[in-house]
Structure 1
Amino acid sequence: MVKKAGWQRFLTSLSKNKGLKLLSLVLALALWFAIGGEERIETSLTLGLELVNIPRDLIVTNDIPSQLEVRIQGPRSVVRELANEKLHQRLDLTGYKIGNHVFPLSPGSLNFPRGVVVTRIRPSAITVILDQAIIRQLEVNPVVKGQPAYGYEIKKISVTPEQIDIKGPKSEISQLNSIKTLPIDVGHLSSPVTREVDLDLQNLHLSYVGSKPILAYLEIIPIKKTKVFHKVKIIPAMASGPVKLNPAQVSLTVRGPMAQLAGLAPDDLTAKVELKNLKPGSHRVEVSAALPSGLELVHIHPEKVQVLLQKAKKSS
């Protein structure tokens, strides 16, 4: 009796709104024939892979592929539409604990429109390794590459902040005492510079949890060398008459920036003897030197020279 009454209700409802029901049926059949009768093609799609709802106290410690390659077969119009979309597949880690977890990827695990068949998924499974996440303070170890300009060197490198908070898996971060920066290029530098630097986290499952930028200050200074310049001419100053010097040249030992010294010749330097207020005759006079800015006099050889000061000739 129940079955008969239900059948009667179905027939009664069908008799109402016959036009609307007929139209729905026609449209459904048309859509079915359109899709079912359309040429079927096969293509490969790339799906972005995303891990969601990772427990806050855990962290992923292995490398997860960022994409899935999926081979599908279906009606041409549907497949082309899918190929133009950005598709994603999510792995929900809600409730998962520390350990290794394998997520098989079967055709049924992917949500595609009706009529589309998945023929291949690569990879066919995703392994996710979860470990306890901890935060630890590590020292920043600056790394440099290249060489400063000729004649210059790095005197000091300082990093601000010196220590930073790093988040990572306990098994990994507990073995570290410091964290390196990506190489800082010092090539051709000839003056102090401050650079914002990034951390070298390659092959590490770590992250910097601070908000302040990491700054490296590189103190670049001239390399100082000592060089001896021979045969520097002595100039007599304030002489009251003709002068003879013995010797007439000295050697100067000079200290200063290597690049500056490399460009100097003996003719660029000056040695002199002060003869003011000296009477004609023979004198032992100390030699002094006038040097370009940035240079320091280390030694003069000889320190004194013999000066023969003659009487000035009277004009007739």
Structure 2
Amino acid sequence: TRPINLSNAKPGTMVIKNEADAIPFPIGINVLRLQPANITLLIDTLVQKDLPIHPVIEGEPAAGYELGSIKLRPEKLTVSGPKNILESQLALKTYVINLDGLDHSTTLQVQLNLSPEILRLIGETVVSVDISVKERMLTKTVRGIPVNVRAADTPVTAVPGTVTVEAEIPENLIRDTPELAMLFRASASAKDIKNSRQVNVTVAGVNVPNHVPIKIVSVKPEKVSLRILKRSKKKKSKKQ
């Protein structure tokens, strides 16, 4: 073996001559020639760098769904290596993650797609990828939702009797519902009402299994007039 002293080495190219006395041989052996005559070393500064990991995705989730978020664990790696390699490395990337037809959230184990230089430094590396897929929401204006009068002690009618709602509804639910007004319940409370007056209208979306909740954006009108209906008096029959 040829020992080399690197205690005073500096970044750059270092040429070391292979002289006859540089390599120890047993007594009685005369060195006539050494090949190669020189050893060339490329000395570089050892650095440490945090490299973010970027997911590479392709494809689209199933109809009516969209990508909510994608999170990597870990989100970055700390890599130690030669400065000339790491200073030009801005980030690490995964192999392609295919989203085609995905209709639910999932967690995958994905390898990093590394250059040969980085692969030699850190080896094959796997990260966890949390993929959140959600239903695509569409904003719709739905008219003709009947107002149900609650807690009435006396006959009461609501004027107007229907309201219009603007809401965010899952796209798949819109496709599967023949009449969107069926997805809403509107009500007005007549509790303790003695005279006709205006009250607030409460509108809620119907909870449909396997779908995210409907989000109410606005209700028009926000108030309805509750009008007390007069009871019709029964005529007394004359006794014969």
Counterpart in the other structure of 2:71:
157
Instruction: Specify which structure has the higher proportion of helix.
Output: 1
Counterpart in the other structure of 1:300:
219
Assess if the C-alpha contact under 8 Å between 1:228 and 1:254 holds in 2: yes
Q: Distance in 1 between matches of 2:47 and 2:189?
A: 72
Count of aligned pairs between the two proteins: 188
Q: Is residue 273 of structure 1 aligned with residue 198 of structure 2?
A: no
Counterpart in the other structure of 1:118:
none
Query: Secondary structure at 2:196's aligned position in 1?
Result: strand
Q: Distance in 2 between matches of 1:144 and 1:166?
A: 28
Q: Distance in 1 between matches of 2:80 and 2:96?
A: 19
Shift of 1:189: 2.8
Give the gaps of 5 or more residues in structure 1: 1-94, 100-131
Query: Secondary structure at 1:183's aligned position in 2?
Result: strand
Shift of 1:282: 3.0
Cα deviation 1:271-296 (Å, max 9, x = unaligned) = 112223323x5332321113224223
Assess if the C-alpha contact under 8 Å between 2:163 and 2:220 holds in 1: yes
Q: Distance in 1 between matches of 2:138 and 2:55?
A: 28
Counterpart in the other structure of 1:148:
61
Query: Secondary structure at 2:152's aligned position in 1?
Result: coil
RMSD (CA atoms): 3.8
Q: Distance in 2 between matches of 1:307 and 1:193?
A: 50
**Which amino acid in 2 is paired with 1:300?**
V
Query: Secondary structure at 1:158's aligned position in 2?
Result: strand
Counterpart in the other structure of 1:226:
139
Counterpart in the other structure of 2:8:
none
**Which amino acid in 1 is paired with 2:201?**
V
Assess if the C-alpha contact under 8 Å between 2:149 and 2:157 holds in 1: no
Q: Distance in 2 between matches of 1:268 and 1:225?
A: 14
Counterpart in the other structure of 1:179:
92
Query: Secondary structure at 1:267's aligned position in 2?
Result: helix
Counterpart in the other structure of 1:28:
none
Counterpart in the other structure of 1:90:
none
Q: Is residue 310 of structure 1 aligned with residue 224 of structure 2?
A: no
Shift of 1:255: 3.3
Shift of 1:262: 5.3
TM-score w.r.t. the length of structure 2 is 0.60
Q: Distance in 1 between matches of 2:128 and 2:191?
A: 58
Q: Is residue 282 of structure 1 aligned with residue 196 of structure 2?
A: yes
Query: Secondary structure at 1:143's aligned position in 2?
Result: strand
**Which amino acid in 2 is paired with 1:272?**
S
Assess if the C-alpha contact under 8 Å between 1:271 and 1:288 holds in 2: yes
Shift of 1:161: 5.4
Shift of 1:170: 7.8
Report the structure number with the largest CA radius of gyration.
1
**Which amino acid in 2 is paired with 1:278?**
I
Q: Is residue 249 of structure 1 aligned with residue 162 of structure 2?
A: yes
Cα deviation 1:199-242 (Å, max 9, x = unaligned) = 2247x554162576322222334444433211111122233444
TM-score w.r.t. the length of structure 1 is 0.48
Query: Secondary structure at 1:232's aligned position in 2?
Result: strand
Cα distance 1:236–1:212, how it changes in 2: closer, same or farther (>3 A)? same
Cα deviation 1:17-44 (Å, max 9, x = unaligned) = xxxxxxxxxxxxxxxxxxxxxxxxxxxx
- Structure 2 matches for 1:47-62, cutoff 5 A? none
